[in-house]
Amino acid sequence: MKVLSTMSAAVLATGLMMGVAANVEAAPIPVVFPSGPTSTTEDVGTLSIPSVVSFTHAGMPLGHVFTDAIEFSVLGPFDFDSAVSFTNFPPFFGITNLTVSLSNGVNAITVAAPGANQVFLSLTGLSAGDYVFTISGEAIGTASSSFDGNFAITPIPGALPLFLTALVALGYFGVRKQSNAAA
């Protein structure tokens, strides 16, 4: 019985540490696309899990069609969450046909938001590899338009260690209750 309680304590401690480590927030990695009528690709290298990349592109003139991309690699399985937004104040500021996509060179997931000023893309269970996150659209404001946003790389599954710890703890207390009831 002592071995079972020692094992349970070790599993409980490990699960709690892994659960806390999975929820640690990383400092954002900033990407600033050059001002003006440019389309740019930025490489942020290999991202650790978890990571956050924030990005912005300002100073886009009326009629500028843009495609900005962020290349990155991830060494383990992960979840992906992104949000892109812009100020929509016609006729001064705005973007039309705002689209975001995530591609690994083989498959691409694209979300378009015609008429909206925000786009969200969330994917779960992605494999390690090289990826490209792309933001595209057209500036429609008479003044310069801009967008900003971020994406996050988070571990899979973040709650599994805590779930397993809870199962072990429930099992331990169930066995202990039965043995106390028998005594």
| Domain range list for the chain | 1-23+159-183, 25-157
At residue 89, the pLDDT reads 77
What mean pLDDT, rounded, does the chain reach? 80
How confident is the model at residue 161, as a pLDDT?
64
CB contact set of 136 (below 8 Å; sequence gap of 6+): 65, 66, 67, 68, 97, 98, 99, 100
Q: Among 54, 48, 28, which residue's Cα sits nearest to residue 155?
A: 48
Which residues of the chain are under the pLDDT cut of 50?
Answer: 1-24
Cis preceding-peptide flag for 34 (omega within 30 of 0): no
Strand-pairing partners, residue 149, are: 55, 84
Q: Would you state the CATH architecture of domain 25-157?
A: Sandwich (2.60)
**Side-by-side strand order, sheet with 108-113:** 41-47, 65-74, 129-139, 95-103, 108-113
Alpha-helical runs (H) found in the chain? 2-22, 160-182
Please give the pLDDT value at position 168.
Answer: 78
For residue 93, what is the DSSP state?
A: B
Rg (CA), the chain: 23
